[in-house]
Structure 1
Amino acid sequence: MEDYLAGTTENQKILDRFIESMSNLDADRLSAVTDEGLVFTIMGSGAAAGVKSKGDMLGAYGAMKRVFPAGVQARVQETLGSGNRIVCRVECRAQTFDGVPYINNLCLFLTIEGGKITQAVEYADIQAVADVVGPAMERLGG
């Protein structure tokens, strides 16, 4: 198993850029590290859950940027990797545009092929999304 915490492997660099895109809610960075055929699955139930395309994720970053204009502090807690797959546990902290705190711990399963993320499966606290992000979107008017 490769050491993904050392920051020396190509997959670690891709993971680092992906986490940066999450932190900054930067659609351009997300686009740069993901394959055109990206399949992003958010596990659970509710509006946020389901299978998303790259276009869906880029659009979601735009909406989240309105909710969290200062971005999200996404910090990797641990990673495991083998071959072209990485599993990482990430803690996300933010404040909405009107000061409501948001904390979500998630686990990402990423597949990397040809230097790009081709698949992502996210396990997160969907209730935290429903409790904070949904109402914030309503306060923004949609």
Structure 2
Amino acid sequence: MSQQNKDLVVKFIKAFSDGDAVAAETCLAPGAQTLAKGFGKLSGPRPRELILATTAAFKDMIPTGLQPHFVTVTAEGERVVVEFEGNATLANGTDYRNQYCMVFTLENGLIKLVNEYYCTLLADERILPLLADVEAQR
């Protein structure tokens, strides 16, 4: 079961990183949420619908994808912890390199909760303006 949970979480991270909301959705339980820890403007909870909307927006904001380099993937029961580094070029040509630790809680083989730890200041500086552009175009 641990390997299946690891595989599902890696699939989700790759889908999210590539802006593939369809693939990401297959990994999420009904009522799933993420909680970006920290004090930046992008910190806080995101319900399932917003997770999928953000994933879809990443396709335009981060055309190269995050290109995750997985450092560790550890599973115990229904919990999977992943450390990875992103190495992307944003749509505006700016480099975006951030480090992540995500703690996934699964239920019935799907992701129920993700606690995200990353540099929220860097995300606010580089990602927030692109999100505002995407919102303005809607």
Pairwise same-fold verdict (TM > 0.5): yes
1:108 aligns with 2:102: yes
Partner SS, residue 98 of structure 2: strand
In structure 2, the CA distance between the partners of 1:120 and 1:96, relative to structure 1 (3 Å rule), is: same
Partner SS, residue 15 of structure 1: helix
Letter in 2 for 1:90: F
Give the equivalent residue in structure 2 for 1:90: 84
In structure 2, the CA distance between the partners of 1:90 and 1:66, relative to structure 1 (3 Å rule), is: same
Give the equivalent residue in structure 2 for 1:12: 6
Deviates more, 1:60-69 or 1:34-43: 60-69
Q: Deviations over 1:41-97 (max 9, x none)?
A: 001123211111110111111222221122220121112221110111111111111
Letter in 2 for 1:64: F
CA shift, 1:140, in A, is 6.2
Letter in 1 for 2:4: E
CA contact (8 A) 1:25 1:72 kept: no
Which segments of 5 or more consecutive residues in structure 2 lack a partner in the other structure? none
Deviates more, 1:129-138 or 1:11-20: 129-138
Q: Quote the RMSD (CA, aligned, Å).
A: 1.9
1:122 aligns with 2:116: yes
Equivalent in 104, 125, 132 of residue 126 of structure 2: 132
1:42 aligns with 2:11: no
Q: How does 1:64-79 map to 2 (within 5 A)?
A: 64-79=58-73
* Identical pairs, percent: 24
In structure 2, the CA distance between the partners of 1:102 and 1:118, relative to structure 1 (3 Å rule), is: same
Partner SS, residue 73 of structure 1: coil
CA contact (8 A) 2:17 2:55 kept: no
1:61 aligns with 2:55: yes
Letter in 2 for 1:32: T
Deviates more, 1:19-28 or 1:106-115: 19-28
Which segments of 5 or more consecutive residues in structure 1 lack a partner in the other structure? none
